[in-house]
Structure 1
Amino acid sequence: MIQKIYTIESGCFNPYQNMGLEEYLMYQAGEDECILYLWQNERTVVIGRNQNAWKECRTKELEADGGYLARRLSGGGAVFHDLGNLNFTFLARRCNYD
């Protein structure tokens, strides 16, 4: 059972740093803890782990516009992140997932 909830807010807008921290935090939640991670990315297309980036997005246009392309650990479709949306992740041990 979750006894403690921690909130971490990223002050960084770099998708590679934000998603790297998200993966790191995934392994840090204790037996009775939940971590709420809040983050934002600048001009980023995020694709799922099984997607082909060259079929799912216009990589040349994204690069020319100064955008980022990032791959998340989970599956799912392509999404666009910018500073107009807030991303959140709840991280807890599997035994606490309900």
Structure 2
Amino acid sequence: MIDDIDAKVYAAVSQPGALNMSTWHTCETTHCRAGWVVHLAGEAGYALERFHGGLTGHAAKLIYAASGSPINPCRFYDDDATALADMKARAEAA
């Protein structure tokens, strides 16, 4: 669970070079949306990802739901601009 998940995800992805929707995890400072959710959940997020066979999107969907902000997993396949706009809208609505 991540408190204020939408605001925290948007703050993370808003940093220069932080968002890359073409791969789950690029490095410690660059992830896709689902990768950021797993990363922000810390070791528990990575453990959940491993438990589900490395399915980052599934782990992120579960973390979003547990955090009180369910998401359609199709959003994990948006392009960078579309994903960023959606994350901004969700953060502002929270």
What band does the TM-score fall into relative to the shorter chain? under 0.3
More strand by share: 1
Larger Rg: 1
Higher helix share: 2
- What TM-score results when the alignment is normalised by the length of structure 1? 0.26
